[in-house]
Amino acid sequence: MAVFTRVTEAELNAWLKNYALGELLAFQGIASGIENTNYFVTTRTGRFVLTLFEKLSASELPFYLNLMAHLAQHGVPCPSPVANQQGHFLSVLNDKPACLVSRLAGKSLTQPDTTHCAAVGAMLAKLHLAAHSFTEHMPNARAARWREQTAQQVLPYLAASDAVLLQQEIIFHTHHTLDALPQGIVHADLFRDNVLFESAQIGGVIDFYFACNDSLLYDLAITVNDWCIDTAGKLDGARAQALLHAYHAVRPVTAMEQAAWPVALRLAALRFWLSRLHDKFLPRAGEIINAHDPAQFRQILQQHIALPNIFGGIT
């Protein structure tokens, strides 16, 4: 979501001629994030988000665009891809796969309360249920093999204590997997900046480009690890309870999932500690970079190891 590929007004105008969206009125680069190039685009007919994909290939992208279209049709407030005059969601701009999606109302939150967390929990459960009828499949590109390979890449940059922690956690998850739990399509990146709120109501869920097939509980743990962390970097029990109970009311969590909750929290923390370590030590060149501090997820991981949290009984 950083600006890696610059698009000029002339280039965008030429590209938009293949869309029935009217005259270009304004466009602006979006600086947040680290994966793709994004611009806000306003035309005579509405407001959109233009994405140029920096990592994903044209062959991978139909899964994500078709998933968003499916979820939008099933009542999930997510961006709707815009088809061009040939009826395609995907085309090419400045040698990169590119698409337009509808721009949703609302703003992301930095300090959510229990009401916001409950809304996110219920919405995530609805997303999981709506995605159940989506027939396409995408393996998790950041599963065990990626974790092992990325760990090897970043280990030379780590302090000795962090290297030991990382190696021990990689080993732990080879023996404690979530494979036997309910599986399905997961968002896999439902952080605060990917949910838009209007007051206490969710206006939209965005950034589906990490979506994949994996454990539903893993997706829930990723969400809790961001939405329910307080300003001191500790898990806020009240917010976690609100999110978990709201999710459970829509998509009941099985007894096996509840037993695996501590493992899921650790796995979710490990995944983002690793990706942030990679972005810090092995960054890509870009015009705007917004890399996150990996220490946050190391701290979250250490807390989950030291004090395992029981589903529904977080203190």
pLDDT, tens digit, 9 for 90 and up, residues 162-215: 999 999 999 999 999 999 999 999 999 999 999 999 988 999 999 999 999 999
Q: What is the pLDDT of residue 93?
A: 97
Mean pLDDT of 100-115: 96
Q: Which of 28-32, 100-104, 110-114 is predicted least confidently?
A: 28-32
Mean pLDDT of 35-57: 94
The pTM of the full predicted model, rounded to 2 decimals, is 0.93
| Structure-token pair, residue 304 | 């989950």
pLDDT tens string 56-100: 999 999 999 999 999 999 999 999 999 999 999 999 999 999 999
Going by pLDDT thresholds of 50, 70 and 90, the confidence category of residue 308 is confident
pLDDT tens string 214-235: 999 999 999 999 999 998 889 9
Q: What is the pLDDT of residue 199?
A: 86
More confident residue, 4 or 264: 264
| Structure-token pair, residue 17 | 């001629």
Residues 209 and 62: beta-carbon distance below 8 Å? no
What is 49-104 written as a DSSP string?
EEEE-SSS-TTTHHHHHHHHHHHHHTT---PPBPP-TTS-S-EEETTEEEEEEEPP
Q: What share of residues in the chain are helix, strand, coil (percent, to 5)?
A: 45, 15, 40
Q: What is the pLDDT of residue 9?
A: 97
User: Could you tell me which residues are beta bridge partners of residue 51?
Assistant: 38, 99
pLDDT tens string 288-297: 456 789 999 9
